[in-house]
Amino acid sequence: MTCKFHPNQEPIALCKRCDCGICKSCVAFADFSGLCPYCYLDSLKEKSRNYKIGEVILGIFAAIFLLGTIFAAIAGGVLYSNYHDPGMLTFFTYVGVFGALFVVVCIFATIIGFKKRKTLRLLEQKKRQLTTL
């Protein structure tokens, strides 16, 4: 058995996904993940897709919390101005809660965005390296 990508080298491991033999340079290329270069690139693509799905889901939650903040602010303001009842200020508490949740979701979305961009940069870098492997 020889390395799938370097036929003149002996394999030191088998790819976890496709069970092909991989040599030292292929193992190093895949950051010692136990995957061959092609499976490693596929795993980076999958990771990038998962981050994109996470961004979409967090975007939906952010929109819901933002709309909740706007609704609670308007409803609290209208009810307080019409009835001058301090109990109606409870709506303003919801403004704070929805606003805080909005900020937290936006922070998580930003973190996921950074991770996605980092993964995409690594994917592009590894694609370029693959041509010289």
CA 49-51-57 angle, to 5 degrees, is 105
pTM for the whole structure: 0.76
CB atoms within 10 A of CB 118: 12
Give the whole-angstrom CA distance, residue 51 versus residue 40. 17
Give the whole-angstrom CA distance, residue 74 versus residue 81. 11
CA 43-47-51 angle, to 5 degrees, is 170
The residue extents of the domains of the chain are: 1-35, 41-132
Digits of tens for pLDDT over the chain (133 positions)?
788 888 898 999 999 999 999 999 999 999 899 999 999 999 999 999 999 999 999 989 999 988 888 887 787 777 777 777 666 667 777 778 888 888 999 999 999 999 999 999 999 999 898 877 7
